[in-house]
Amino acid sequence: MIYGAALLGAGGGGSITQGLKIIKEIIDSGRKVVIADLSEVSDEELAVVSAGMGSPLAAKYGWRNEHLPAFDLLEKFLGRKINYVVPIEIGAGNVAVPVHTAAFKDRILIDGDGAGRAIPELELTTFDIYGVPISPMSISDWEGNGAILFTKDAVTAEKISRNITVAFEGVAGIALYLMSGVMARNVIIPGTLTFSTNIGKILRTCREKGIEPVEVLRRELNAYVLGSGKVINKVMKTVGGFDIGLVEVAEERGSKLRVHLKNENIIAERDGRVLAMAPDLVCWLSKDGTPLTNTDIEVGMSVWVIGFKAHEKLRTNKALKAFEHLYADVGFKMKYVPIEELISSLE
């Protein structure tokens, strides 16, 4: 699941190292995780997003399960049990945290999330797009120092919580987007943990057999092979707390494939012609079959660039309007075009 989620992180979502470290703690403890399909979620029971916040580097080396006291803090405030845990988005770290919460709090993990990928801003989740209030939101350090936030929107919540996270030495746990079972079924993108696991199984099988996984991903999971080659350039700058930049890949036929990013991959283009754009996924896979984040990417690496269609919940007019500003943020002035149309126009 962690390897598959790392690929679907679209360049973000936390490192495999971090994700596996968190999962190992569950395995070593002997605890188990019960995963429920959305159709099994009871109407009146409560679900909540469990996640981490802060610097990826700080989280990679200094994560101390801050998500657990954050979950406790929200439940204490509510005065009732929260039955289900939901990932905020997909990614190696983003998935591992709610799995860990479900294991150590003995709650049920929902097979789904709020994006089907990793995204740079909370307001791009289906929770936010389709009207789940972000408040009350809890935030905590590893010792249980924390706060309950009430804000008018996700932008304000993120601004306040990121400042609190600074006081917590750069890492915090959060619990947010409290919802009933009815609401959860309406907004959550279903089946994404199962999808991540299927990708992970393919990657593992191909690695064991010594074969390249891209054709198998294309055939079995409808992935798009956008291109491949050697990374020749990586440019990153921090703007407003986000990593903005591009990665340039030199392909064998002499063309250059560029991936433009804002924390996660937003647009892929070859010599100026767009191949895929968010919310559709642009993902990295090393030639040895290991998913890569934008932090992992280094000049000289040989990589595949893989695309996936976004879920239909992120392709509505309301969702696409929320994503539109990202194109300008990475230097493009254009409207969304689905990946299947962009690819078919090249054929």
State in Å, rounded, how far the first CA of the chain is from the last one: 33
**pLDDT tens, 123-180?**
999 999 999 999 999 999 999 999 999 999 999 998 999 899 889 988 899 999 999 9
Task: Give the Cα separation of 176 and 194 in Å (integer).
Answer: 23
Domain boundaries, the chain: 2-190, 222-344
Tell me what pLDDT residue 347 has.
Answer: 62
Fold of 2-190: CV3147-like fold (3.40.1610)
The CA distances from residue 213 to 206, 220, 304, 315, in Å, are 6, 10, 10, 27
Q: Are 126 and 188 in contact (CB under 8 A)?
A: yes
> What is the average pLDDT value for the chain, to the nearest integer?
94
DSSP state of 311: P
**E runs forming strands in the chain:** 34-36, 46-54, 84-86, 108-110, 112-113, 137-140, 146-149, 171-180, 189-190, 224-239, 242-250, 256-262, 264-270, 273-277, 281-286, 291-292, 302-308
**pLDDT tens, 206-250?**
999 999 999 999 999 999 999 999 999 999 998 877 889 999 999
Task: Give the Cα separation of 207 and 304 in Å (integer).
Answer: 15
Task: Give the Cα separation of 105 and 173 in Å (integer).
Answer: 14
Q: Are 271 and 278 in contact (CB under 8 A)?
A: no
Among the four given CATH numbers 2.40.40.20, 2.60.34.10, 2.70.98.40, 2.40.390.10, the one describing domain 222-344:
2.40.390.10
Tell me what pLDDT residue 202 has.
Answer: 97
What is the pTM (predicted TM-score) of this model?
A: 0.94
Structure tokens at 79: 């005065």
